[in-house]
Chains A and B, each alone.
Chain A
């Protein structure tokens, strides 16, 4: 089966610009997660979708970040306007159920804001 796909793999943008990241989870996985890793620190939770609904967005840094999952398939994460501290690797992960399944991660999008 196809894995979790993310694109772009890299993005370099200027401060103040907008960037949209996309994640295509494994087909049939209702749960989709966004995480971010900044400069060798822990992988931090951003938000969780169950199908098209936001189950938990407690990890979203501020209102410059907007995530959507229309139709419960792929998801987008938009950063507008981007700030320097938004730089990092954004990972998407999906799983078929809650609690007891390991996540399948995508390859990540490395975002650099200059």
Chain B
């Protein structure tokens, strides 16, 4: 079945630094979504990417969808303590509708 892999599993970041988390699929995706789950909370939808090579920005967050629509990345600049949480990517296959989630990247921030 489809597998969505995320790396790294854990990311310890110094406040103010940048980091990137990566998402890879074994098959071509129709779209990819990113979610953030704060400690003790539930996944909250951040963004969706649909087009090959698409890049979207939300303030300090930059999301990218690969040209082959098999990978994606989330880059956060100038990390803040509010960025703490687990970031999940989730993709759907062409002509499918259910999301397949990666295992998430759990981010901690050193002040």
Q: Known contacts A42-B4, A48-B97: does B103 contact A107 (CB below 8 Å)? A: no
Chain B CB within 8 A of A2 CB: no
**Which one, A43, A48, A108, contacts B101 given CB within 8 A?**
A43
The complex places the Cα of A109 from the Cα of B97 at a distance, in Å, of 24
Complex interface residues of chain A between 85 and 113 (CB less than 8 A to chain B): 91, 93, 98-108
The complex places the Cα of A51 from the Cα of B50 at a distance, in Å, of 26
Chain B CB within 8 A of A45 CB: yes
The complex places the Cα of A91 from the Cα of B35 at a distance, in Å, of 14
Of all chain B residues, the one with the shortest Cβ separation from A106 is B42
Chain B CB within 8 A of A44 CB: yes
The complex places the Cα of A106 from the Cα of B50 at a distance, in Å, of 25
Q: Contact between A45 and B44 (Cβ–Cβ < 8 Å)? A: no
Q: Contact between A107 and B41 (Cβ–Cβ < 8 Å)? A: yes
Q: Known contacts A33-B98, A42-B102, A45-B98: does B45 contact A99 (CB below 8 Å)? A: no
Q: Contact between B103 and A103 (Cβ–Cβ < 8 Å)? A: no
Of all chain A residues, the one with the shortest Cβ separation from B3 is A42
Of all chain B residues, the one with the shortest Cβ separation from A103 is B45
Q: Contact between B98 and A48 (Cβ–Cβ < 8 Å)? A: yes
Chain A CB within 8 A of B43 CB: yes
Of all chain A residues, the one with the shortest Cβ separation from B9 is A40
Q: Contact between B101 and A35 (Cβ–Cβ < 8 Å)? A: yes
B110 → chain A, closest Cβ, in Å? 21
Q: Contact between A102 and B33 (Cβ–Cβ < 8 Å)? A: yes
B93 → chain A, closest Cβ, in Å? 11
**What 0/1 readout, one digit per residue, does chain B (78-111) give for beta carbons within 8 Å of chain A?**
0000000000101010000111111110100000
Chosen A-B contacts, 15 in total, with CB atoms closer than 8 Å, are A40-B104, A42-B104, A43-B90, A43-B104, A45-B98, A45-B99, A45-B101, A48-B97, A91-B43, A99-B30, A103-B33, A103-B43, A105-B35, A105-B42, A106-B42
